[in-house]
Structure 1
Amino acid sequence: MKKIIIGTLILLFTFAQATFAHTYLKASNPTDGQIVDSSLSEITLQFETAINENSLVTLTNEEGKEIPVSNSVDNDKLKAKFTSPLEDGTYTVTYNIIGEDGHPMSGSYLFMVSSEESAEGDSQAESGEGSSFNWVMLIVGVVVIIILLSLFTKPNKRRRRY
């Protein structure tokens, strides 16, 4: 019985990423909170898996007015090109996608446009946005390790007869 439980737990832990595979934002340009100059011509969002062709990005300014963009999907990337340059201000990027697993996902983040781009904006542009770290998987992994340790370190309660 122990072998069956251990084998099941090993398989579960090995294939857990596929079991819980939702598509999350892996990187973006511009990143969340980044300050960019007005020469920005498109937003690029990269996801952890391929996304559906009907996925959309909408862009709104600080007054809530939607900025026209043309969306395109290339496997795991969603791009939104602007029809005209962005004015200085804060913008909200909102995405609605359908992942490879068929689950709809959405999210949003902010970035700012400034004619005087800061050095901080340059350093943030080089780093990837979005964390694919999954707390649920960490907790499941810890529980599996605790169960395995308890199975292998459990004292034998059988008493020997003399």
Structure 2
Amino acid sequence: MKKTLILLSTLLVLPMTAHAHSVLESSTPAEGSIVDEALEQVVLDFSAGIEQGSDMTMTMDGTAVDFSEVAVMEDQLIGTPAQELEDGSYVVEYDVLSQDGHPIQGSLAFELQAGEEEAATEEPAEEATQEEQAEEATEATEATDDQEAEEAEAAESEETEASDMEQASSGEPEAPSEDAGSSLTLIIAGIAIILLIAAVVLMRRKR
């Protein structure tokens, strides 16, 4: 009877112990991942609840990185970096106490390359600014060309009007000069003398 009770107790205790024993299920960032955006927190997810006093540390290329806070949230261990993380290779080491009192230790590594994304974002912005400047310069040049064309057209129009006025002035009939009047008088006088001589000759023949 005693053996039976001991066996039943053992069977009941073992599942509870196995259930309480916690292991790391996932993390953010994931093991071996490459992060291409700013990282604000490191989150470790465990299979069961963990106790207060659990902790994590982090290094970047062998240099320690400080956390402003490492908090236990049921089955999560969350670390908040004290400063913005620089690009590089990071290693996170954790020392966790599971609910059954069993310590869990381990580490994970990831790569941060957020700076490359920022540079890629800035380059199109710079190109867009250069394109805007080129467009503004082109518009200014076109406006100057239009203004010069308008001024040239106005000057040409004024020259044409002046030329038309000169042609109209030169086309008016000129008043007869005194020389022309004198020549006409001499011609009339000559004709009259010739007619007079002819009349005299005719009168003599009749006689």
TM-score (norm 1): 0.59
Tell me the distance in 2 between the aligned counterparts of 1:34 and 1:97: 22
Q: How does 1:81-160 map to 2 (within 5 A)?
A: 81-115=80-114, 116=116
Offset of 1:83 from its aligned partner? 1.5
Name which one, 1 or 2, has greater alpha-carbon Rg: 2
The structure with more strand, counted as a fraction of residues: 1
How many residues in Structure 1 have an aligned counterpart in Structure 2? 108
- Paired letter, 1:92: V
Offset of 1:38 from its aligned partner? 4.4
Percent pairwise identity? 35
Tell me the distance in 1 between the aligned counterparts of 2:17 and 2:70: 30
3-state secondary structure, aligned to 1:79: strand
Larger RCO (CA under 8 A, 6+ residues apart): 1
TM-score (norm 2): 0.47
Q: Which residue in the other structure is 2:31 paired with?
A: 32
Q: How does 1:62-81 map to 2 (within 5 A)?
A: 62=61, 64-69=62-67, 70-81=69-80
Q: Which residue in the other structure is 2:59 paired with?
A: 60
Tell me the distance in 2 between the aligned counterparts of 1:31 and 1:24: 15
Offset of 1:20 from its aligned partner? 3.1
RMSD: 2.2
3-state secondary structure, aligned to 1:54: coil
Structure 2, gaps ≥5 residues long: 118-207
Offset of 1:55 from its aligned partner? 0.6
Offset of 1:19 from its aligned partner? 3.6
Tell me the distance in 2 between the aligned counterparts of 1:27 and 1:15: 27
Structure 1, gaps ≥5 residues long: 118-162
**Change over 3 Å in CA distance of 1:15–1:52 after alignment to 2:** closer
